[in-house]
Every structure is written in C-alpha cells, then in structure tokens.
Amino acid sequence: MQFCVKMTYLFETEWLKTVGALIGRPRADNIRPYGHKIAIIEFGRIMNRHYKTLELDKILEKLAGMTSIEDAHEMALNLEPVFELKKVEQLLQQTDDAVALSGRFGAPSFGGAGNCSGHLRRAQAGGCLTTGELLSVASTLRTIRTVKEWHSRSGGGASSLDGYFSGLVSNKFLEDKITSAIISEEEISDKASPVLSDIRRKIRTASSKAREVLDKIIHSSTYIKYLQDTIVTQRDGRYVVPVRSECRGNVPGLVHDTSSSGATVFIEPMGVVQANNDIKLLQSKEEQEIERILFELSANAGEFADSIIHSYKNLAQLNLIFAKADLAYSMKASKPIMNDRGMIELKQARHPLIDKNKVVPVDVMLGKEFDTLVITGPNTGGKTVTLKTIGLLTLMAMCGLLVPCADNSELSVFRRVLVDIGDEQSIEQSLSTFSGHMTNIVQIIKLANAGSLCLIDELGAGTDPVEGAALAIAILERLRDKHAKIASTTHYAELKEFALRTPGVENGSCEFDVATLKPTYRLLIGVPGKSNAFAISKRLGIDDEIISRASELVSNENRQFEDVVEKLEKRRQSLEKQLENANRLTAKANTEKQKAENEMQKAKQRAEREIEKARQEAQRIISRTRAQADAVAEELEKARKAKDMSVQARTQLKKNIDKMEAHADPVKARNTPDEEYKLPRPLKVGDTVLIYDIDKNATVLAPPNKDGVVLVQAGIIKTRVDIKNLRLLKSNNKPAKDRFSSTRNVPSRMDVRPETEVDVRGETAFDAINIVDKAIDNAVLSGVSKMTIIHGKGTGVLKREINKYLKTNKAVKSQRLGVFGEGEDGVTIIELK
C-alpha cells in the first residue's frame, strides 16, 4: 500500500500500536521486524476491505476492460488511491487532458503492443530470438510509432501527457527490417538477405530438374507398369515415386519408405539422387542462413532494448490514462476540484454502478459548515447509496478517475476512508449483526484521525433502541474528537435531536413520497427525515386500529418531535414551491428581456444595413459621375486640339454635362411654385405618403404642427418633413391626374451603374467571366472606355480564362497585363470600343 510506504517515522510508533492491537498482539513494543511486515500486510488487508465495501474493485474491473495492453490491464486492476494532493491533481489533469484529446481527435489505437522486455533482455545478452518473438517486437514498435504519429498529427498543444508522448521513441528502421525479413512465424522472406534469395533460387532450379527427370520416368512406357500411381512425392525431403512392392527390383534406385499396407515402396530413382543431394545440401545452407538472419535481427533488437522497453512503459501508461478517459466518457464524468482539508461538495452526483437511466443525482455537502452529517429517512430511500456515492467518488478521484457529477464539484484527499456498510453477521465467527458492526466500529475508532472519512450505515442498529441510540451518539462524539469527517445513517430520533442541538453536526434526509410509497432519492441537507413506518404500513393495508394503537404507544416526546419534523417538512415543501415559482418567473423575465434585446439588436442591424446601402448607392453615383466626367474631359480635350467646334457638338457637350449634373445629385428638386402640389384633404395619423424629394414611402405618425411639419416614419427611421414635400398615396378623393402628378425617372443609359474596376479574386472561372461580362456591358452603356480587372496571380487559371474570354468579346478594343504600380500580372487592363 502506498499509505504504508509513505508513513513518516514520527507516526510509526503510534501506527504500529494501532495495528498491533488490530492483529491481536498484547503490546506493539514486542513487534519485531517480521511483525512489522505482518502489520503492514494486515493494515493493507483492512484498507482493501473498506475499498471493496465501496465497490472500488468493480470500477477498476470496468477500467481494465477498456485497456488494450496486458500490462495496462494489470495496472488498472491494481490501481490504488493516492494520498498526496499534488499527485492526485496531476493524475486527474492527465485524465482530463486525455478526455479533451479523445474528444477532439479520437483516441489513439494501442492494439498490437505486448511486453517484450524478456525477449529484448535475452537479445541484449546475445541470445537468438524466434520469429514469433521478433514479430512481437515489430508489432510493439508499430504501435509505438502510430501513437507517436497520432500525437504529432493532433497538434493539441501542451498537455500533461507530453512527457509520456515524448518518451515514445519510434524505430522504423528495426520495425521495417523485421517485417521485411519475416513474413510469419513459419516463413522467412526471400528478401531477408541476398544469400538466402540465391540459395532458394538454386533449390527451385534443382527441384525443377529433379521433377523433370521423375516426370519422364512416371510417363515412360517402360516404368509406368511398375508404378502404384503416376505421381511424384517426397520422403525425408527427397523426391521419390511410388512403386508396387513386387516390382521394386524393376526400378533401379534407393528405397526410402514403405506404405502402411506394405503394397507400395517409395523409391528414389538413381537419375535424381544427385539432384536430391544438391537440394538437401542447399536446404542445410538455407537453415544456416536463416539462423544467421535471426541472430542479426536479434542483435539489432538488443541494441535498442533499453529504448524499446522505456517506450513500452510509457505506452502502457498512456493506454491506462486513455482507458480512464473512455471510462469518464461512458459515465459522463467531470474533473472535480480537489483539496486536502476534508471539504466535500458534490453537485448532481451519480453512483457509477447504478443504471444511468435509473440513478437519481444527489447534492451532498460535508466538511465546510459541518463535519458530521446524520442522514435519516425510510428504508429503501437511498441513504446507503448516498454513503457509497460519497466514499466511492472520493476513492475514484484519489485514483485519478473523473467522477460522475456536475462541474465545479469538490472532493477531498483523505488519508483513510473507513467504512461500515452492510450486514457483517458471521455464523462461523459467532458474530451477530450488532457484534459484526461493533467489530468494524472498533477498528474505525482506532484508525480514525483528522485525515479520515468515516462512513457508517445504521449506526447503533441491531440492539436495544435506547442503548443503541446512546451508543451511537457516544461513537459520533469520539470520532468528532478525533477530527474525522463523518457521514452516518440512522432511524433513531435521538440522533436527529443530537444533530439539531450540536454545532458542527447537520441533519440530512432522503425524501419519500408516502402517497405513492416510492422514494424520490433526493438528499435534503438541514432537514431531519421521518421513517414513515405508520404511513407506509397503513398504505400497505395494516388495520387502522393497529395503526392507532401503535401511535398511542409512541411516547409524547417522540410524537411531538415527529410533529415538529412533519411541520418542518411541510414548510420546506412550501418554500421549495415558492422558490420554484420565483425561478420560473425569473426565467420568463430573462427570456422576455432577451427577446427585447434581440429585437433591439435586429433593429440596429437593419439601420446599419440601410446606412450601408445608402453609402454604397452614393459610391455608385460617385463612380458613375467620375466616369462621365472623364468622358466629358476627353471630349473637351479633343475640342481643344481641334480648336473649333460646331454648334451641334457644343450643344451635345452641354447636354452631356447637364446629364452628368443631374445624375450626380440623387435628390430631386422640389416642385416649383408653378407646379405646387395640394393635398386633397388634411393628413391624419396612419396615412401613407410619399416623401417627394427622396422618393420614399412613409407613414404619418402625427398631424402637422403650426409650422406645417409632419412626423413620419420611413422604414425604421422616424423624421419630420415639411407638409409641402409630402404626397398622399392613399386617398379616395384624390383625382387620377394628381395620383400620378409626381415626376418619375425613366431608366436610361445613365441609370446603369458603371464600374471602372472589377475584383473577381476567389471566384470560379465560370462566375468570374459572368461578372466581367456584366461589368463590360454596364461600362459600354455608361460610356466608360477603360477598365481594370483584378484576378490575382494565384495558379493563373482566372487570368488565363478571363484573357481567353476578352479576345472573343466584341466590345473590347485592346487588353494588356498591368505594369509596376498597376498590379502587374495580377490585373488586366482593357480598353473598350
């Protein structure tokens, strides 16, 4: 046991006295060195019994079943709790990192690895390994290499497992050398060495010659009548033919064997004796060469023995850690917060051995506000399961296993976890139930200290209730004097009262629904529970008279106490319902608040989109105006050079300038007094109107004020507009000519949105050509004569396809790649006709 190894000298005397008492020695002073060893073994046996009571062994069996390496399997079965906080936190971090890596990249495969330490040490000492042993070494090397490559591919960043992964040393040279030389345990490859390949080639040649001679014999008219069968076979590695026993003198050769019936003899004809001798000699050389190859491979393996053994140990540790991660995943476990101050706070804790579809999560606290928890409640209510959950999850965490509970749960490292759960009755040892329990309690009291967790089920049960309750209180007081953390279950009302009046001791109860006779398995801290024996009995059919008589027999004090407990329970349930209602209302308010925030965010986004749309529209107007200005400037330059201009040309130029100015101003001019519009009726809230100067529909929110200003809403924007700038759109009294009196723009060439620069980077060739084609059409309609197409350098596909297309476009006058300052090969400049 790690605990025994790590006991300090200062506590050794006291510890030996305790263990000496446990194993029946009269005085610890009489313990000799051999007695010390016996004491250690006995102490380990006691502690293992406590762990087994909490069913830690079943968890370790589950863990072992998830390993792939035999040594990792053994390590899992022999896993023991660790008693140092830093070491426990390190183990938990390793498991947590393995869970994270498995979740992101999938767990690595550890199959195929085996412990080759014995083989490698023998090879290191100069021994020759068999083909099977060498293949085992190669398989282990392959697993080491694949796990190492998995870690390299994962690129998961720094983790607590990096030390184990860095301890894996792949050796592909030796792995390939073994696998290329050995095909299976029975076969060596021809590629193992040139000499072996040459020998086997000669064997095949000699065998072929021998078979040719024998084929002639078995098909010869001279010998076929003496043969039992016209086949060629082998005896002792030499080619022979089957001859009838009475004709063996007719076929000259050497007899090698006789059939079981004696009717057939197997003769090696003299014509193939030399060929068989050659084959036999070559086979002997083949065996010698194979032996030499195996010695060479063994020597190579021996050279790397230390590295392979060290890597294998790291591999086995990683297999164990990732098995812990698989177990955590199957249990939906999480990493607890650890301390060494005896504080436990489990949230939604689940016993890992109960069916996950049936287990009810519990919340447990111990060691923070109180050091002793007295759990009461009816039978089958979940009291014992709660104790086992506390103990088992504590041991699991101390073994480096994640525990099935909610995040931010807290557990403590205890030096000793002492348990008395279950029926300890033993006929063989003449122990009653009470005696069996008391024997365990004696050991627990002797071993308990400030670093102990004591879990006691049905304390004081099995004897007179009055004496049992008094004894239970005395035992709890003694354990508290030793500063142990205690969780105990009971049915005694005296213990409930003890918990109520004693600081540091708290009641807990397991809920039970009397109406359905079913436990809820919820643990309630701070509330004493009722046994509900009368209610359960009545529900099951016990006569009411019996129930009434039993109630009369209960003392007034007990009845009053039970009444108080019942009132407390009703009050608790009422407060719990109020809290649940408050939580529901809070959740509803939060939902409504979130909806309002979402709507506000959407409105903000819509406003931003409108602003961006307006900005883009302004940018298009600027781009179009710039293109038109360039065209006008070009015409002016031509006119200046010509020095004279016809009246018609000047008129056309002025029209172009007027069009340019008209399109440069996106806001329409207001109506002149000559064409002033009059509303057919006064505006009222809800009317749909047209804001004439920006050509936008709006809704009237408020009637005109004394200054003739109206509050309207256009889209999501509220604004005030002069009544003269509004046109009523929905009015039955409005004449037809007034409905259409406002001027509308007629689409023309000037409405096309020209672009002097087109960026098609990131598009497919097909999409890019469509974009360029549309841009050229717009440019031609707008009078733009020059365009820049940005296609980037990249692989050159876009540049090639676009230039191929431009050669076929009739609107393109010329094309060229950009020069320095224009984008070079990343752009194409085109001139339009």
Phi, psi (degrees; rounded to nearest 5) at 828: -125, 125
Q: 3-state DSSP call for residue 402?
A: coil
**Token couple for 559:** 């009845």
No. of helices (H) and no. of strands (E), the chain = 24, 25
Fill in the amino acid letter for 726.
L
813 annotated among ligand-binding-site residues: no
In 531-629 the beta strands, taken as DSSP E runs, fall at none
436 annotated among ligand-binding-site residues: no
**Token couple for 622:** 């600027």
Alpha carbon distance 226, 178 (integer Å): 50
Alpha carbon distance 98, 79 (integer Å): 18
- 212 Ramachandran zone, left/alpha/beta (phi>0; psi -120 to 50): alpha
Exposure b/e, 529-566, CB count within 10 A at least 16 = b? bbbbebbbebeeeeeeeeeeeeeeeeeeeeeebbeebe
Alpha carbon distance 766, 743 (integer Å): 41
Alpha carbon distance 285, 203 (integer Å): 10
Q: Are 98 and 319 in contact (CB under 8 A)?
A: no
**CA distances for 535 relative to 65, 74, 465, angstroms:** 46, 51, 21
378 annotated among ligand-binding-site residues: yes
111 annotated among ligand-binding-site residues: no
Spatial neighbors of 631 by CB under 8 A, at least 6 apart, are 656, 783, 784, 785
**Token couple for 190:** 């021809």
377 annotated among ligand-binding-site residues: yes
Q: Are 331 and 392 in contact (CB under 8 A)?
A: no
Measuring CA to CA, which residue among 742, 716, 720, 719 is closest to residue 729? Answer: 742
384 annotated among ligand-binding-site residues: yes
Alpha carbon distance 791, 798 (integer Å): 6
Alpha carbon distance 531, 558 (integer Å): 12
808 annotated among ligand-binding-site residues: no
Q: What one-character-per-residue DSSP string does 55-124 give?
A: THHHHHHHHHTT--SHHHHHHHHT------HHHHHHHHHHHHHHHHHHHHH-PPP-TT----HHHHHHHH
Spatial neighbors of 160 by CB under 8 A, at least 6 apart, are 90, 93, 94, 97
Q: Are 269 and 213 in contact (CB under 8 A)?
A: yes
Fill in the amino acid letter for 31.
I
Tell me the binding residues for ATP: 377-384
Tell me the binding residues: 377-384
